[in-house]
Each structure stands twice: as C-alpha cells, then as structure tokens.
Amino acid sequence: MKNRLRKGISVLAASALTAVSFSSVMPANAASSSDSFPFVIEGENMEGASLWTQNYGPNPEGYSGEGFNYLTNDTASFTVNVPEDGMYTITVRAAQVLDKGGRVETVKVNGNKTSLNMPYSEEWMDLSFGNFRLKKGENLIEFPSEYGYMAIDKVTVDVAPKHDYSLATDVLSDKNATPETKALMSYLKSVYGSHIIAGQQEIYGGGHKNNYEWENEFLKNLTGEVPAIRGVDFMNYNPLYGWDDGTTERCIEWATKRNGIVTASWHINIPKDFDNYTLGEPVGWQECTYKNYQSGQGSLSFDTRNVVVKGTKEYDYFQLAMEDLAEQLLRLQEAGVPVIWRPLHEAQGNEGNYSDGTAWFWWGDRGAETYKEIWKLLYTTLTEKYGLHNLIWEYNSYDYSNSATWYPGDEYVDIVAYDKYNVEYNRGDGKSSGPNLLAIPAKFDSLYRLTNGKKMVAMAENDTIPALDNLLVEDAGWLYFCPWYDGGEDGGTAFLGENYQDYDELKKIYQSDYCITLDELPLDLYSTKEPVVIPDAPEIASIDYSEKYHQVRFTWKPVDGATNYGIAVYLAGKWRIQTQSIAASATTYTTPKNLTPGKTYKVAIAAKVNGQLTAEQAIKHAVTITVK
C-alpha cells in the first residue's frame, strides 16, 4: 500500500531491537511500463493524424520532426502511461492562422473535455491547456477537430509543478495583532499544505429549534469527530432589528472552553426603503435586505458608492453598522478570542449566476473600485477607531479573468478564500446531481496565484466536502473547509444531507490524518508564551516487546536541557497524544497493551524545553514499529 500520509514522518534508527523490527519504506513501484517525463509526441505521429508541411494560410516555420498535424476533420489522439495518479500539464506547440479573434480548441483527457481560446499565431507558440489529473497507467489524450484548424507540431505532457506552501506568510497585516491572533495564525501556517482543517458553519437565529450544536452533533454521530472551526455570522447584530442570538457567547465558549477556532462572516442588512428610513430607528427584519440593487430584492434607494462618502446617509448608516459589529468583536478580543474574519464576502457574485458588477450582495453591486474602498474603510475603522486586533482578515475571491481587480491588497488581507458551490451548477464532474467531490484544483491554483502563494488559501464555504483522495492527488491544499449550515426543517436535508455529502467520503476525510478535527488542535493553540524550543528527538536506547502483554516498552537517552518529554501514539487510524509532560528524569515509556502481532504501529517522542507536546511536534520524531 502506498503511504498517502502527508505528514512529515522521519524514521529514527534504534540502537537495539528485541523482538521488534522497524518497517522500512516501501520501494517505489518500478512501473517499468510507464513513460518518462517530459513525454513528447510529434503531432504528425498521433493516432488519426496526417502529415502536413503546409497549411492553408501563412505557414509557421521550423517544425520539429517530419511536419505537423492540421486539425481538420479527424480527431488526433495518443496515450500516455503514468506511474501513479497525479497532476500533469498538457502543452501543445501550435499555430492558428485562420481566425484573428482566436478559435476555441479542445483537449479531451480520458473523455473529459477542456476548451480554451487559441489566439491567432503565424508562428509556433506553446499553448498550455492547464493541469490535468492522470490516472496510473494508460491515459487517452484526444484533440477532436470541432472548430479545428489548429496546427499541432508536437505535444508535451509533464509532471505539474507542486505548489510551494512554504511561501505563505504568517505575518498578519495588522501590526498590532494580539498575541492570541498571532498564535492562531502561526498554527494555521504550520498545517497549511500538509493538512486540511475541518470547519462547519452553525445555524443562527433560532434554527434547528435553537440547537446550535445540531451540525456538530450530526457530524460527531456520523464520523466520531467534531469540526475544529466553528463558522458563525454576525448578521443579527445590526442597527435595524438588532437581535442577539448568542453568537458572541458561542464563539467565546468555542474558543476558550473547547479550544476551537472561530470564523465569522457578516451579512450586513440595510433597510429596503432607505429613502424613508430615519437613521437609528428600528426596522423589522422583513423590511431589510443584504441583496444587490439589480436583483429587485435589494434597496434601490441605497447607493453603495456613498458608503465611503462622508456626509451621506449611506456613510452614516455603515458607521452605525460597524459600531454594532465592533461591540461584539471587542467582547471576543477581551476574552482572548481571535477570529478568522471574512466580511464583505462573495463580492464578485455567486459563480455562474452573476458576473462583475451584478453580485449577490449590495457591497459588490457597484463594482471593484467601490468594493475595495469599502473594505479599506471597514479595515481601518475596526482596527484604528475600535482597536480591534483579534482579526485575521480573510478575503473571498473568485477566479474570473478580472477577479484580481477586486483584491483589496496584501496590506489589508491575511487569507484568501473561495466559496465552493458546484452541486447545482458548474459541476465539472460529469454528473448531473448528487454530491460533487471534486477538489477544484484549478480554483485553488487561481487563488494561490492571486498572491503568488504569499497568502494561505481556504475554502471558506462549501457544499460537498471534497474527497480526501482528490485533495491529496491534485495538490489542492485548501487550509480548511466549512460547509454552510444545514438549513432544512426538522433536522434538515440541506448541506449535510445526502444530496450534498457522500457520507462514506465524509467519514473517510474526517477520520484521516490529513484532516484536523477539534480534538487534534494543539492545547497551546492560543498560547501567548514564547515558542517552545524542541531539541533533537531523544536517542532511543532500547525497544523491548512483551509477549505476555503484547506491548512495547522503550527507553531513551536523556536530552540535555529538556524539561520534559511527550509521547504520541498512532492508534486506530490517528495520532493521539498519550502523555504530554513526562518528567525530565524519566527515560522510559510503555505503550498500551494488546497490540496486534503483525501490525505496524507508530510511536513518537519529543523532548521539550517548555510547554506541552502537540501531535505535530511529536510526529516529526515518529518511530515505526512492526510487532512480530
């Protein structure tokens, strides 16, 4: 079995082995039949191709091989044999001299089509069709003629470069960020790219008969685990109907009592009849809206452009809304609770339904420039006027060609995020209904490139949680996922129902090492102490196996300067902290009893100078043992 774990596990050599052997890393599959990469095939040598040396227009000079293939009537194809599932680039050396405006050209990879606009070019150019997941073994690559008239000199298939997750910064945009906020950001960075954190949006405002734990209980029952991130919405704290549904208290409880992480969005309500609204007067929730004015459901009399113009009623209203919000965020700050803060979300519109300038929400309905001004106003007001320094600013982006123009800028943003909704539309998985398990690697890559990898990329909202295998193979290192709340009546069948979630896959990811759940967050998540110094792992002195109790006892040599040791054991599919602070005088540990002969176990030990062990720290020093 190929080891799919992405955690960095180093294997320690033991000095003594008694009835216990270390398993060695399995040699990579020889895969003698696979092609070598980059794999190059001449266009004229593809199946179904014909040999051309002249086309119907200006002739591109300097082909390689015998000539080129000209896509006219026949599909040209080839197969490529890859050693294991992974991401590959397909690049065509091509020319197109028929259409000055460009022509749509298509590649089919194992039957799935991808099209792009091939620009006019009288010379050979390298046209990248992007990254594709190829499966171990034979893969069929086809160029159907369709609109055609693309000259193909040669095609190159190569291993796609991996994202460099180490480029992401954990330095917050807010230079005055609180120690707890810095500690959380540092933790996020420590798991980014090697794990995904499980999140879940809660219902608010009395849903699920006021059981705000409904989603968590559902997930606990299904998977045995509870998500690490709690998603909330500060919508109900507003100057209009101002309803406290306990969101703030739940956030404080989640972070301080249950050691969880909080993320928050903010559906900012405005009065529909803004003309006749008197600032500060109550307005019933039915008379409020957060929709855009173009939809007919927003407010025609509220001009979003005025939100940033002093002296306007819109400006004054937004000041009031921020004041109400800040009151709650300050309570969180005073309680030592940082927030992954995602205001003004989905500004550029709900994918597939709207486009630039006709967004879901009023804050996006006047385009990118106004939007960025509002973002900056919110940022400076919350940080400077209200002294809020417990916020990790998360910006929702899309991957339209102009999405970068909406980005507020590195100095105002800490994390970029995408909201994945592809069950109803934009599926891309060849199905018409049911859960959509794609990891959407192209979207991830687009957001990664938005900041050249400098900001971590999260899936801030989603319907189906992507399949674990897709996330791992496709190098889609989303920081976390967070399905929207299950809004159905009587327990509901919405986002946690089987129309949206594949329960087998959901269990698989929740129970995997790759996914971090609530009990796997480090106990010092919000610690404001100096970082713990971890010396080298202790040297193992002996490993003994008790045939009577089927347990392993090992001893180690003391590490100079260590104040304590910690042990983690890999049992039942996940790392569990066994003990966090073994005294510095101790040099031995005995595993639980009744290990199964023939099975492989992992035990990790770390020496500490201060503080307690986290699984992350311990597994760097993991020992793999196979019980004989």
Where along the sequence are the contacts to Ca ion (CB under 5 A)? 42, 63-65, 68, 153-154
Residue 594 CB: number of other CB atoms within 10 A?
A: 8
CB of 292 to Ca ion, least distance (A): 51
- Minimum separation from the CB atom of position 45 to Ca ion (A): 8
Burial class (CB in 10 A: 0-12, 13-18, 19+), 401: exposed
| Minimum gap (Å) between residue 426 Cβ and Ca ion | 36
Q: Distance between CA atoms of 390 and 381, rounded to whole angstroms?
A: 14
Cβ 59 to Ca ion, closest distance in Å?
A: 13
Q: Which two tokens stand for residue 544?
A: 């003994």
Q: Smaller CB distance to Ca ion: residue 76 or 473?
A: 76
**How far apart are the C-alpha atoms of 212 and 210, rounded to whole Å?**
6
- As measured in angstroms, the least distance from the Cβ of 525 to Ca ion is 57
- Tokens representing 53? 């040396």
Residue 127 dihedral angles phi and psi, to the nearest 5°: -105, 115
Between 95 and 615, CB nearer to Ca ion: 95
Query: H-helix or E-strand containing 118?
Result: strand 112-118
Q: Measured between alpha carbons, how far is 370 from 610 in angstroms, rounded to an integer?
A: 49
Inter-residue contact 583 to 564 (CB < 8 Å): yes
Least separation in angstroms between CB 70 and Ca ion = 11
Element (H, E) at 21: strand 20-21
- What is the closest distance, in whole angstroms, from the C-beta atom of residue 48 to Ca ion in the complex? 15
Of 42 and 180, which has the nearer Cβ to Ca ion?
42
Interatomic CA distance for residues 189 and 455, integer angstroms: 10
Sheet holding 103-109, edge to edge: 76-82, 137-143, 103-109, 112-118
Measure the CA–CA gap between 309 and 599, rounded to whole angstroms: 68
Least Cβ distance, residue 68 to Ca ion (angstroms): 5
Closest CA to 204 of 230, 240, 167: 230
The alpha carbon of 74 is separated from its chain's Cα centroid by a whole number of angstroms, namely 41
* Spatial distance between the Cα atoms of 250 and 269, rounded to a whole number of angstroms: 22
CA distance 440 to 437: 9
Q: How far is the CB of 92 from Ca ion (least distance, A)?
A: 11
Q: How far is the CB of 119 from Ca ion (least distance, A)?
A: 20
Cβ nearer to Ca ion, comparing 70 with 187? 70
- Smaller CB separation from Ca ion, 90 or 568: 90
Residue whose CB is less far from Ca ion, 45 or 358: 45
CA proximity to 177, closest of 468, 382, 445: 382
* Token pair 């299904």 in the structure block, residue: 222
Q: Which residues, including other chains, have CB under 8 Å from residue 432's CB and lie 6 or more apart?
A: none
**Given the complex with Ca ion, which of 78 and 362 has the nearer CB atom?**
78
Residue (150 or 577) nearer to Ca ion, CB: 150
Return d(Cα 80, Cα 577) in angstroms, integer.
45
Taking the least distance from each CB to Ca ion, the nearer of 64 and 194 is 64
Q: DSSP label at 251?
A: H
User: Smaller CB distance to Ca ion: residue 65 or 179?
Assistant: 65
Q: Which tokens hold the place of 620?
A: 């760097």
Which residue number has the CB closest to Ca ion?
65
How far apart are CB 128 and Ca ion at their closest, in Å? 18
CA separation for the pair 364, 291 (Å, rounded): 9
Q: Pick between residue 40 and residue 442 the one whose CB is nearest to Ca ion.
A: 40
On whether the CB atoms of residues 343 and 267 are closer than 8 A, the answer is no
Task: Print the SS3 string covering 375-426.
Answer: HHHHHHHHHHHCCCCCEEEEEECCCCCCHHHHCCCHHHCCEEEEEECCCCCC
